[in-house]
Chain A
Amino acid sequence: MLMLSRIPKWNLGLIVVLILEIIIFGLINPRFWNISILLNSFNDFIGIAIIGFFVTLVMITGGIDISGGSIIGLTSVVIGILSQAIGLNIWISIILAIVAAGLCGLLNGILIAYGRVQAMVVTLGGLLLYSGIAIVLVGVSGVSAYEGISGFPGSFSNLAYGTVFGIPSSIILFIVLFIIAYVLLHFTKYGRYIFLTGINQNAADYAGINTKKIIASTYVLSGLSAGIAGTMLTSYLGSARADFGSEYLMSILTVVVLGGTLITGGKGGIIGTALASIIVGFLRVGMQMGGVSTQYIGLATGLLLIISVALLSISSSTKENMKKLLRPKFMKEGNV
């Protein structure tokens, strides 16, 4: 019982939803209970999940990053052009592409933290700019924009389809990035600073924390994660296109917010994001198996988003305020 009470209520709720989801979809179509199908379905939402982990950090500082989806497309195109059109080694192109994604994040971060422009505006500009650069790269290199760049070596597609000790590599990546984000946020000084910055930036500044650096760094991490997601997606689909990831925006934000991270900053956790990403991912798989057209999935995720946030803000905002008033150690709350 003690163990149960240590898990935050929101995450407990998410676990219950996840279990219910697995049971219900399994009853509709027993194939859903096939472990290997479930594990392989991770490939479909790994991008959303890993960007979600690091957008969680961004959102805890009180910012928002909506440029992740377009960075995926840019990474994909950069990998394709470097390896196919220029002829670099595939692994070097991947590293360069992820570095480029990090640079996109860095540009976001610098403009937001040091230029003190609203995160929403900067990342909106970034959304247009990065996908625009990807389209320009495709246009300049003269590749067919519709078919994309293909013909990658087999070792590259092993990234998404390979297994390590029988476990699909996307699951390994999911776990590795989950651990990195979790440790960063919940076990390091850096993570504490992220929470402090989100709760009260001025106070954090006075406490001697370089909040600008902290804020800028979260965007770099988010950009890098989008780069990794772009690499995985390119490997999974076997071709590089500029419009990859363009429909991810909604899902990424859904996952982070459904995971219990406040859009106003200061509160949130990686476990919630991870659970929410699995819930949303399985929802997609389950509905497809249940014979629901993919076009209708938006209805479910949209409703899920609104209802979960309504629950979060109604129940927890009043409770949180009370807790903050009664207990000065509210930092513990963030430490899920």
Chain B
Amino acid sequence: MSKFKTLMKKREFRTLFFLVAIFIIVGLVNSDFLTIGTIQNSLKSSLLYIVLAVGLTVVLLTGNIDISVGGTLGLSAAVSGLLLKNGGSIFVSIVVAILIGAIIGLINGLGVTKLKISSFIMTLGMLEITRVIQVIYTDGQWVENLPAGFKQLSQMNVLGFNLLLIIVMAGVIIVHLFLTRSRKGRYFSAIGDNVDGAILLGVPVQRYVTYSFIASGVCAALAGLIFASQIGFISTTAGLGIEMTVIAASVLGGVSLSGGVGTVIGATIGAVIMISINSALIYMKIPAFWNDAISGLLLITIVVTDAVLSRRADKRTKKERLKARVLHQEEVSINHAHAK
């Protein structure tokens, strides 16, 4: 029972609970929603967002933010798409995309750590710059007619499950284990929790912040490849405004924007929620124009409730600590006896 309680207290669990609730409620209204096919479809369409949210979470953990993911996604997708179209091999184009993501991430990271530019501003500027570079590189044209072999990548199935889905899920679990179990992985949340403390403990803060931006850039590039493979063409506005959805997804999943708190699993669940709302609305026969309003309302409600709840919990622990400090141990136990 106590184990269940600690599980309940975990933020990700509450989000998961919420996701299940959405599925059940929509399933009650329209039972077609609760088939394996629909669930796998909504997971498949949220793949892109999951990958972006994982990368973003690493940055958010360090207390920074990366708004440039949409631009990185578009640019890497466009460059590797053109490569593929001109007969390049799939392997080369994947490597090129990852390299582009890593370079953009490196520039972001160096700007934040060396030039001391606030990460919000740095990546906002980078978002705009990468968009223009994409337009220049593609001449303002859409990249169409990608080779069928590449498009098939996103449709491959293994044992009845989508191959990409399996890979991404495995990736999420590996990143989660790295961030929570390994010494170096925990540096990221240590930096976000308390920079000065991390420095005193000998964490190379600047290097790890840069790493986090590189991770986010690489994830955005991978998301770009998924985008190209799933959709089959890359418009000049590919990934426009996606950054806001991804930030909202991470926050929904319990990742704090002030750093140090959150897990990639939570962010993944958040991403699935954000996308499931779309298909849930369709199954509930609500017009699609309610989409943004509902997502926004949901985000605000969840975040505000969460803030209020966590503050109340904070207050309680503080009170308990104060009690323990003011009263001696015996008195506390006497008080307890009285109370009983």
Show the binding face of A for B, using Cβ within 8 Å.
64, 111, 115-118, 120-122, 124-133, 135-136, 138-139, 145, 246, 250, 253-254, 257, 263-264, 293, 295-296, 298-299, 301-303, 305-306, 309-310, 313-314, 317
Note all chain B residues with C-beta closer than 8 A to A257.
Answer: 121
Stretch from B123-131, B208-216, B225-233 forming part of the interface with A: B123-131
Note all chain A residues with C-beta closer than 8 A to B117.
Answer: 306, 309-310, 313
Contact of B122 among A254, A306, A317 (CB under 8 A): A306
Q: B118: nearest residue on chain A (CB-CB)?
A: A263
Which of A250, A257, A306 gathers the greatest number of chain B CB atoms within 10 Å?
A306
How many angstroms between the C-alpha atoms of A301 and B300 in the bound complex? 31
B336 to A: closest C-beta gap in Å: 32
The answer on a CB contact under 8 Å between A129 and B290 is no
Q: A133: nearest residue on chain B (CB-CB)?
A: B293
- Using A296-B132, A303-B129 as known contacts, say yes or no to A124 and B295 having CB atoms under 8 A apart: no
How many angstroms between the C-alpha atoms of A309 and B118 in the bound complex? 8
Contact of A129 among B118, B258, B297, B304 (CB under 8 A): B297
How many angstroms between the C-alpha atoms of A105 and B235 in the bound complex? 34
The answer on a CB contact under 8 Å between A124 and B248 is yes
A282 to B: closest C-beta gap in Å: 18
A286 to B: closest C-beta gap in Å: 17
**Is B8 an interface residue when CB atoms closer than 8 A count as contact?**
no
Show the binding face of B for A, using Cβ within 8 Å.
65, 111, 115-118, 120-122, 124-129, 131-133, 135-136, 140, 236, 241, 244, 247-248, 251, 257-258, 287, 289-297, 299-300, 303-304, 307-308, 311
A255 to B: closest C-beta gap in Å: 12
How many angstroms between the C-alpha atoms of A298 and B293 in the bound complex? 28
How many angstroms between the C-alpha atoms of A120 and B118 in the bound complex? 14
How many residue pairs link A and B with beta carbons under 8 A? The number is 140
Contact of A111 among B287, B290, B304 (CB under 8 A): B304
B73 to A: closest C-beta gap in Å: 16
Q: A310: nearest residue on chain B (CB-CB)?
A: B115
Contact of A125 among B136, B258, B299 (CB under 8 A): B299
How many angstroms between the C-alpha atoms of A127 and B67 in the bound complex? 15
- Using A139-B287, A302-B127 as known contacts, say yes or no to A132 and B116 having CB atoms under 8 A apart: no
Contact of B126 among A306, A309, A317 (CB under 8 A): A306
The answer on a CB contact under 8 Å between B295 and A132 is yes
Q: A302: nearest residue on chain B (CB-CB)?
A: B128
Which of A130, A293, A295 gathers the greatest number of chain B CB atoms within 10 Å?
A295
Which of A111, A263, A299 gathers the greatest number of chain B CB atoms within 10 Å?
A299
How many angstroms between the C-alpha atoms of A94 and B26 in the bound complex? 39
The answer on a CB contact under 8 Å between A136 and B125 is no
Closest 9 CB pairs of A and B: A132-B293, A129-B296, A132-B292, A128-B296, A302-B128, A139-B289, A125-B300, A299-B132, A306-B125
Contact of B296 among A111, A120, A125 (CB under 8 A): A125
- Using A129-B300, A263-B118 as known contacts, say yes or no to A116 and B311 having CB atoms under 8 A apart: yes
The answer on a CB contact under 8 Å between B125 and A125 is no
Note all chain A residues with C-beta closer than 8 A to B120.
Answer: 64, 120, 263
How many angstroms between the C-alpha atoms of A226 and B304 in the bound complex? 24
The answer on a CB contact under 8 Å between A122 and B303 is yes
Contact of A253 among B116, B124, B293 (CB under 8 A): B124
A124 to B: closest C-beta gap in Å: 6
- Given A118-B258, A135-B293, 12 further pairs, Cβ under 8 A: A64-B120, A117-B303, A120-B65, A120-B257, A129-B300, A131-B292, A132-B291, A133-B293, A296-B136, A298-B131, A309-B122, A314-B116
